[in-house]
Structure 1
Amino acid sequence: MKTITFAIPCYNSASYMDVCIESIMKCGDDIEILIVNDGSTKDDTAEKADEWQARHPGIIKAIHKENGGHGSAVNAGLAAATGLYYKVVDSDDWLDEAAMREIMAYLREQATRENPTDMVIGNYVYEKVHEGKRTIMHYRNVFPESKEFGWEDVGHFSQSQYLLMHSVIYRTELLRDIDLKLPEHTFYVDNIFVYVPLPHVKTMYYRDVDMYRYFIGREDQSVNESVMMSRIDQQLRVTRVMIDSVRLPDDVSDRRLEHYMENYLSMMMCICSIFLRMQNTDESEDKREEIWMYLKDSNETLYRRIRRSVLNMGTNLPTEFGRRIGLTGYRMAQKIFKFN
């Protein structure tokens, strides 16, 4: 068995996928790299994937499939993975060599254990390449470092701290045991990937190293503000899946995890509200009301808590004045937390 499977979803990624793959290759020979070509048609992504496989047949495998979106590519990688652990690396991002040397040492230790750690966590870095800036997102105030721990040992997450797909490595069989399947033809499914498995995670390990380099700044990127606004229906779809997949607090055994997951869902509801208010149409206001009613119908107690949360009180005030207050709060948060 390989120590870890790295899945790289690729869609017309020829101009930058090599940097990503080269960074992962430095992790050693006991890894598996799955280049998942998600129906690329506009460049030579498919040919590049095959060339990489031909050069490193014991490590790299090219998977070619019809276009199904990022979630579909993650699903295909998980279905084919042979590694003890599973990590998704987007094709325009890369891994830090020094940080991965420390992470890989721990993962190799787990291969000898009867009960390997469920989730391994590292820092990620927003690389705003066009601006020449970077922002490190760490968890040193949240997790004990360099030892296995459970949710009872977890500290307080700040408002800017969330576990993202970039920062986590899951044990492969844990994801398979819960039959994790991400929606196809939908952006923002990484939120489902990093949220839904959490109640099943019993053991964790955190290393305070800057593991994942998250490229941000391309105009066509899914987290670009105008792109997010145009894809708000997909954000709403993902949020509904998250509401349906985990019932709080019933599905969670630890109060700290419950609090974290409630805050995460609150953030998702806030994003939906903000971008619908940016659209500022009667239809968008109807959609904003619908997603809140969806949460209320599913879990009224949770609805009341999230609606009254710091994130959502200001973003959902009635009238045009309330809308402007919500958008002002969003702009302030952008400057504080350095996102987008």
Structure 2
Amino acid sequence: MKVLTVVVPCYNSAVYMDRAIESLLIGDEDLEILIVDDGSSDNTSAIADEYEKKYPNIIHAIHKENGGHGDAVNTGLKYSKGIYFKVLDSDDWFDKNSLKKILNILKSMINNFEQVDMLIANYVYENVNIHKSKSINYKGAMPEEKIFTWDDLGHFKNSQNILMHSVIYRTEILRECNLELPKHTFYVDNIFVYKPLPYVKTMYYTNVDLYRYFIGREDQSVNEKIMIERIDQQIKVTKIIIDCYNPMLIKCKKLRKYMIKYLVMMMTISTVLLLKDNTQESLNKKEELWCYLNSKNRSLYEEINKSFLGLLMQIKGLLGRDIILLGYSLSRKVFGFN
């Protein structure tokens, strides 16, 4: 059995998918690489087949009708044979030395019957527009180089969210929680990292920069202009996360606190983008989203209202809007996202 399955969703990725795939090959036969061609119209399909032909024991090309990023991940999960599971977007790449270390950690755990449910590593924003790299680590929030539980967590800074870039799940955890991402929907990576959390009992954090997250291309889904254009999809994903669980009922205090923190982040992103658009339609959507949260989970709504974002939301008019957007602008400069 393979130690780790890495799914590479590809849609018209011919120009840049080589870098992603080549960064994985040092894993040799411990790794299963699933290139999922999501109905591409360029040369992606042929490139995927060529890689499978060249590395038949490591790489498998899967061709399917277009269903979006989430459906490509679903397909990868369906065919995965690895004990652990990770997603690498086709325009990103792994640091090879970090991947070697993580594979050694996972193999050691498997050999010693100490498998964990979730392994976390750092990721790096690689912003081509401002020529800036920024590593996001979890120092202080998680014990390093040891198995731990939710009760062992420290304080999470605002930047220290567990994202698809940083997480490796034990494959069976994803199947146990019945993870199925919606088709033709952007930003489903948030569901991917949120829905399995209550099923996770043991974790391991290694302080290495594994995932290189390439941002700054004008056509990327995380480009601010495109995110505003696709705000309905951001809102859709936020509502799905609201509907997943009632985190107020989670018994583990630190897990409950983290899940609420993640929801605050999701509400913040939608709120900021709607305020930046600043049309009457967008302002109405902002009000509707907060009303949705209130109607679905009053206790959670009240808890989020105690957060910094919630307090800002209570400042009506231009002052509240200006303060929220200033905070967003400062965060962009510090962390180099979007």
TM-score (norm 1): 0.96
1:8 deviation in Å?
Answer: 0.2
**Corresponding residue number in structure 2 for 1:245:** 244
**Corresponding residue number in structure 1 for 2:102:** 103
Question: Contact between 1:11 and 1:40, CA under 8 Å: does it hold in 2?
Answer: yes
**Corresponding residue number in structure 1 for 2:124:** 125
TM-score (norm 2): 0.97
1:289 deviation in Å?
Answer: 1.1
Amino acid across the alignment from 1:230: E
**Greater CA deviation, 302-311 or 225-234?**
302-311
Structure 1's 145 and 175: CA in aligned 2 closer, same or farther, altered over 3 A? same
Secondary structure, aligned partner of 2:144: coil
Question: Contact between 1:270 and 1:312, CA under 8 Å: does it hold in 2?
Answer: no
Secondary structure, aligned partner of 2:29: coil
Amino acid across the alignment from 1:46: S
- Report runs of 4+ in structure 1 exceeding 3 Å deviation: none
Secondary structure, aligned partner of 1:127: strand
What does 1:16-27 align with in structure 2 at a 5 Å threshold? 16-27=16-27
Does residue 216 (structure 1) correspond to residue 206 (structure 2)? The answer is no
Tell me the distance in 1 between the aligned counterparts of 2:164 and 2:314.
28
Secondary structure, aligned partner of 1:53: helix
1:268 paired residue among 263, 266, 274: 266
User: Cα RMSD (Å) of the superposition?
Assistant: 1.3
Does residue 6 (structure 1) correspond to residue 18 (structure 2)? The answer is no
Tell me the distance in 1 between the aligned counterparts of 2:113 and 2:334.
44
Tell me the distance in 1 between the aligned counterparts of 2:141 and 2:197.
16
What does 1:190-339 align with in structure 2 at a 5 Å threshold? 190-250=189-249, 252-315=250-313, 317-339=315-337
Tell me the distance in 1 between the aligned counterparts of 2:284 and 2:129.
37
Secondary structure, aligned partner of 1:183: coil
**Greater CA deviation, 55-64 or 328-337?**
328-337
Tell me the distance in 2 between the aligned counterparts of 1:137 and 1:316.
30
Secondary structure, aligned partner of 2:35: strand
**Corresponding residue number in structure 1 for 2:136:** 137
**Corresponding residue number in structure 1 for 2:57:** 58
Secondary structure, aligned partner of 2:123: strand
Tell me the distance in 2 between the aligned counterparts of 1:22 and 1:126.
19
1:216-269, Cα deviation, whole Å (9 max, x unpaired): 11011111110110010000000011011121121x231111111111100110
Name structure 1 gaps, 5 residues minimum: none
Tell me the distance in 2 between the aligned counterparts of 1:328 and 1:130.
21
1:115 deviation in Å?
Answer: 5.4
1:287 deviation in Å?
Answer: 1.0
Structure 1's 293 and 125: CA in aligned 2 closer, same or farther, altered over 3 A? same
Tell me the distance in 1 between the aligned counterparts of 2:93 and 2:201.
28
The alignment-based identity, stated in percent, is: 53
Secondary structure, aligned partner of 2:140: coil
**Corresponding residue number in structure 1 for 2:83:** 84
Question: Contact between 2:28 and 2:58, CA under 8 Å: does it hold in 1?
Answer: no
**Paired residue total:** 338
Question: Contact between 1:199 and 1:253, CA under 8 Å: does it hold in 2?
Answer: no
Tell me the distance in 2 between the aligned counterparts of 1:74 and 1:315.
35
